[in-house]
Amino acid sequence: MKSSKRKVCQAVAVVLSALAASAAMAQTPSLLGGGSSLVAPTIQSEISAFPSTDGTAAYWSVGSGKGQTAFLNNDPTQFTSVTVSAGTTVTLTASGTVDFANSDAPLSASQISAYTSTGGLGVTDGPLIQLPYIVTPITIPLVNGPTGTGPTLPNGGTTATVALNDADLCGIFSGAFTNWNQITNPDNGSLYPAGAIKVVYRSDNSGTTDLLTAHLQAVCPVPSGTTAVPVTFTATQNFASLFPSSTPPSNFVPASGSGGVAASLLALSGAGVGYLSPDYTNTFLAPASSPAQTNNLSVASVRNTTTNTDVVPSYQNATLAIGTVTAPTGSNASNPSLWVPNASNPTTGYPISGTSQIITSQCYATHSDTPTVAASVVDFLTLHYSSNASIINGNGFDVVPAAYVTAIKADFLSNTSGLKLNIGNASVCGPLAGR
């Protein structure tokens, strides 16, 4: 559990330092955001590099589901953290306006519609904006696994990865496979040596789960030579909901947050399999990530069925999976759903890849702060899309495709496109109260 507590403490430390700085700099905005634990270490590093003249920022790592709820309802009470010290439990809860959220799961069409329809906050606060924030692989971490035959990891990796294919993933995450001796090595067609497997899954609503299950939905038939897979996979943030009565098989272990999954895997005495973003696995994938350095978890390579090659979960291979994409243009650019690329079953690159999204408002209330909240959000995003590649790559992610960056800057960080979608646009936001 050390890893999980450390993650919570880091999140609390960022929050407390941001709040303290806010009190000392009353004339600058204090941005409040939260959500995805996948992207939390990256955003915390970006907050540390955010110029003090632009204000302060606090990010609460609570999971994608709570991040979406917090933004859509402007409900800061979704942002909580609990620490225990010397037998005393301390609970912190955020307050104020929720300025942004991060989610690895895209907002659904119904969520966007409810926000913009009568009764939704968009009527008074202005349109919401959903943009791809980073490109990420979803790794399959292993503990006490078999000897690998797959490719090694980048950045000096010397140990062969355990190779898995889609049939293996379908069997493991459905509960059809409970032992390594049921799982076929795609490199040689033989079964792995025996070893009972525990599967660690996210118990909270998680965008990491959404990215994994989107791939499983796209590829999962009945694994050859096994009994029927006991679930039908659909893309979802709630892993347990895939199973009857929301109860996974007895060899499945629930854990909350990315740090919780890593800690649960490390605590196993036998073989374990889970799913995590690279910044919680190892420094071969995420050389600058503190959680990765602490956890030092092995990860599998996954066979791409189109290229018939084993692929490691590097950020370069995740970007290959995203492929050549173009951003929406014209009237389509105002549709938040169209800004999320789909890579659930790519023809090249790492098979379990996608993007994590940032959600902001187009309009923010005008206060006495100098600069305004809208200007600070624009500056934060400008730095992210222009100057923070080393932070992003260091955590095992990639920057979004160049065509997207160009469009994001033209449409949302300025109005050079002329579409009036930019944050703080006076003609759109003037009549509105703003967030």
Whether the full predicted model's pTM is greater than 0.75, yes or no, is yes
How far CA 269 is from CA of 98, 177, 196, 263, in Å, comes to 41, 19, 11, 12
Determine what percent of the chain is predicted with pLDDT higher than 90. Answer: 84
Continuous segment of H or E residues that includes residue 129? strand 128-137
What letter would DSSP give residue 340?
S
Q: Is 14 helix (H, G, I), strand (E, B) or coil?
A: helix
The yes-or-no verdict on residue 143 having pLDDT over 80 is: yes
User: Between residues 359 and 230, which one has the greater pLDDT?
Assistant: 359
Q: What would the CATH number be for the domain defined by 2-135+330-349+352-429?
A: 3.40.190.10
CATH topology of domain 139-314: D-Maltodextrin-Binding Protein; domain 2 (3.40.190)
CA 92 to chain centre: 23
pLDDT in tens, 20-63: 333 333 446 689 999 999 999 999 999 999 998 888 899 999 99
Band of pLDDT at residue 223, cut at 50, 70 and 90: low
Helix/strand/coil percentages in the chain, nearest 5: 35, 20, 45
pLDDT in tens, 167-213: 999 999 999 999 999 999 999 999 999 999 999 999 999 999 999 99
Q: Is 144 helix (H, G, I), strand (E, B) or coil?
A: coil
The yes-or-no verdict on residue 347 having pLDDT over 90 is: yes
Continuous segment of H or E residues that includes residue 344? none
Domain with CATH 3.40.190.10 in the chain: 2-135+330-349+352-429, 139-314
pLDDT at 367: 63
Q: Which of 87-91, 118-122, 299-303 has the lowest mean pLDDT?
A: 87-91
Structure tokens at 376: 């600070």
pLDDT in tens, 235-292: 999 999 999 999 999 999 999 999 999 999 999 999 999 999 999 999 999 999 999 9
Q: Is 65 helix (H, G, I), strand (E, B) or coil?
A: helix
